[in-house]
């Protein structure tokens, strides 16, 4: 991933240094397990642990000749050890090392994503509670529907963030599996205790039935989860983009001192953070599709998956982390304009309470079809003659037959829409 979208914490997890470190851990733990079985001398294991070093440049240099990343890794490490290096990788295949090391990296990555998602949930919860009872126009199809509160809008974001957190925790459990089972998973040259020992030391569980690799449905869950996280952030970003439009102007991204919005138009303050997040979410969905296609391989394995995974594992993880951190900054610095929300609500006056009056008419015995026709006529009267819906209802002979003026007035009060906001917040933000 390009440096523009890379934060150091996640980049470190997917660095060559960390990857080779995890691969070396797998090899050393396997040698330790074999020493307990008398296959590898204990002194040789101590020598390996003491002398083994990783030289990323040397490994890359060797790979230019051998054209095999694990062989290059082993050759480079053995050069730093000496004769005892021959006890590494006994009975093992490349995927024993790669897949188990990758699982360890995935645990690091998911835990970091969980941490950042929790931070975002806290920031979002504070914003929701701050504007819990701030009226804003709810829109469907981009058109004024009924009043809601800005806090309720943000509470919906929070609720989805928490579901993303659940998915990340599920993904963490799903990818936490390793394998030390040999060429086609038969353990023909390895004792089961070796796999058990290595996985325990790496914080993993043994894959129940591995082929030459860990089945890729596990990884597809990870990438699908990242796509869901991206979609969650995109939903927030799309809403903020709409709210920042000049014609709406109800909320606006933070704009720092010295920031410039356009090279040609100095007045511009564009929703660049939200737009950036929307674009990156598309990449995550693409990776999820590729991960699904990686599940079906020829027989016990081929390497059609590995070329994509070299890109996907670091890139998708880094992008997701970047998006979560950037959304934290956006939500924490979001400018909210309640006065503009009220101005926009006033554009359609109280016409948006037609549904409330409709229900009152039904409650008084009017059929829903007739009640709909009555309130629609009043709504169109209000719109065409630029009067309030309350006034239009009061001069509707049909509505006046069933409702008193004070009842109409009550139904046209925004407070009538918010009587259950406390209930929704209480069940959403459980202590």
Note the pLDDT of residue 259. Answer: 84
pLDDT at 165 over 70: yes
pLDDT at 426 over 80: yes
Q: Are residues 391 and 276 in the same domain?
A: no
Q: Taking residues 214-228, report their average pLDDT.
A: 97
Residues 321/10, Cβ–Cβ less than 8 Å = yes
Residue 364 domain flag: yes
What are the residues whose beta carbons fall under 8 Å from the beta carbon of 402, sequence distance 6 or more? Answer: 361, 364, 365, 366
Question: What confidence tens digit (pLDDT) does each residue in 349-382 have?
Answer: 889 999 999 999 999 999 999 999 999 999 999 9
Q: Are residues 383 and 330 in the same domain?
A: no
Residue 422 domain flag: no
Question: What confidence tens digit (pLDDT) does each residue in 38-70 have?
Answer: 999 999 999 999 999 999 999 999 999 999 999
Q: Are residues 402 and 297 in the same domain?
A: no
Which residue among 314, 341, 368 closes a domain? 341
For residue 165, what are the domain limits?
Answer: 3-255+269-341
Q: Are residues 365 and 286 in the same domain?
A: no
Q: Are residues 73 and 207 in the same domain?
A: yes
Residue 55 domain flag: yes
Q: Are residues 22 and 126 in the same domain?
A: yes
Residues 41/201, Cβ–Cβ less than 8 Å = no
CATH number of the domain that 149 lies in? 1.20.200.10
Question: What confidence tens digit (pLDDT) does each residue in 238-274 have?
Answer: 999 999 999 999 999 998 888 888 888 888 889 999 9
Both structure tokens of 104:
């360890």
The distance of Cα 379 from the centroid of its chain, to the nearest Å, equals 42
Residues 345/137, Cβ–Cβ less than 8 Å = yes
Instruction: Report how far residue 187's alpha carbon sits from residue 206's, in angstroms, rounded to the nearest whole number.
Output: 12
Residue 418 domain flag: no
Note the pLDDT of residue 299. Answer: 95
Q: Are residues 360 and 293 in the same domain?
A: no
Instruction: Report how far residue 298's alpha carbon sits from residue 305's, in angstroms, rounded to the nearest whole number.
Output: 11
CATH number of the domain that 377 lies in? 1.10.40.30
Instruction: Report how far residue 26's alpha carbon sits from residue 104's, in angstroms, rounded to the nearest whole number.
Output: 10
Q: Are residues 33 and 166 in the same domain?
A: yes
Residue 417 domain flag: no
Q: Are residues 275 and 368 in the same domain?
A: no
Q: Which of 33-42, 264-273, 286-295 has the lowest mean pLDDT?
A: 264-273
Query: Strand pairing of 177-178 and 143-149?
Result: unpaired
Average pLDDT across the chain, whole number: 95
Residue 431 domain flag: no
Catalytic residue IDs: 141, 262
Structural domains counted in the chain: 2
User: What is the separation, in whole angstroms, between the first and last Cα of the chain?
Assistant: 39
Backbone conformation region of residue 61, classed left if phi is above 0, alpha if psi is from -120 to 50, else beta:
alpha
Q: Are residues 189 and 102 in the same domain?
A: yes
Closest to 148 (Cα-Cα) out of 70, 239, 256, 83: 239
- Cα distances (Å, whole numbers) of residue 385 to 73, 167, 184: 80, 52, 79
Instruction: Report how far residue 24's alpha carbon sits from residue 30's, in angstroms, rounded to the nearest whole number.
Output: 10
Q: Are residues 216 and 358 in the same domain?
A: no
Instruction: Report how far residue 301's alpha carbon sits from residue 289's, in angstroms, rounded to the nearest whole number.
Output: 19
Q: Are residues 85 and 48 in the same domain?
A: yes
């Amino acid at each position: 991933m390009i440096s523009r979208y890379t934060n150091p914490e996640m980049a470190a997890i997917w660095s060559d240094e960390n990857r080779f470190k995890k691969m070396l851990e797998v090899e050393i733990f396997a040698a330790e397990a074999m020493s307990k079985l008398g296959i590898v001398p204990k002194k040789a294991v101590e020598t390996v642990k003491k002398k083994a070093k990783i030289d990323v440049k040397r490994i890359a240099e060797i790979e230019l000749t051998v054209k095999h990343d694990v062989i290059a890794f082993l050759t480079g490490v053995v050069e730093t050890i000496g004769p005892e290096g021959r006890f590494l990788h006994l009975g093992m295949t490349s995927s024993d090392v790669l897949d188990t090391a990758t699982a360890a990296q995935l645990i690091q990555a998911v835990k970091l994503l969980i941490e950042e998602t929790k931070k975002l949930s806290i920031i979002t919860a504070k914003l929701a509670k701050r504007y819990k009872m701030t009226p804003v126009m709810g829109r469907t199809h981009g058109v004024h529907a009924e009043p809601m509160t800005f806090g309720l809008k943000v509470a919906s974001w929070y609720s989805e963030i928490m579901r993303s957190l659940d998915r990340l925790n599920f993904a963490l459990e799903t990818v936490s599996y390793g394998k030390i089972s040999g060429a086609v998973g038969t353990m023909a040259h390895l004792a089961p205790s070796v796999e058990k020992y290595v996985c325990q030391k790496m914080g993993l569980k043994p894959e129940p039935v591995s082929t030459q690799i860990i089945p890729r449905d596990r990884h597809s869950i990870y990438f699908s989860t990242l796509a869901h996280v991206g979609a969650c952030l995109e939903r927030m970003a799309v809403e903020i983009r709409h709210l920042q439009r000049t014609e709406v102007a109800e909320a606006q991204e933070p704009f720092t001192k010295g920031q410039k919005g356009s090279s040609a138009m100095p007045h511009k303050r564009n929703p660049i953070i939200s737009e950036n997040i929307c674009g990156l979410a598309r990449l995550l969905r693409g990776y999820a599709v590729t991960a699904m296609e990686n599940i079906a391989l020829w027989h016990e394995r081929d390497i059609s998956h590995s070329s994509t995974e070299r890109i996907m594992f670091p890139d998708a993880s880094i992008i997701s982390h970047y998006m979560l951190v950037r959304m934290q900054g956006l939500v924490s610095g979001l400018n909210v304009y309640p006065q503009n929300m009220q101005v926009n609500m006033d554009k359609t006056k109280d016409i948006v309470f037609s549904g409330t009056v409709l229900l009152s008419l039904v409650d008084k015995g009017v059929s829903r079809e007739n009640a709909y026709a009555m309130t629609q006529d009043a709504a169109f009267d209000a719109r065409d003659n630029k009067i309030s819906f309350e006034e239009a209802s009061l001069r509707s002979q049909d509505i006046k037959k069933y409702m008193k003026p004070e009842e109409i007035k009550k139904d046209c009060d925004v407070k009538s829409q918010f009587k259950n906001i406390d209930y929704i917040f209480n069940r959403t933000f459980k202590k």
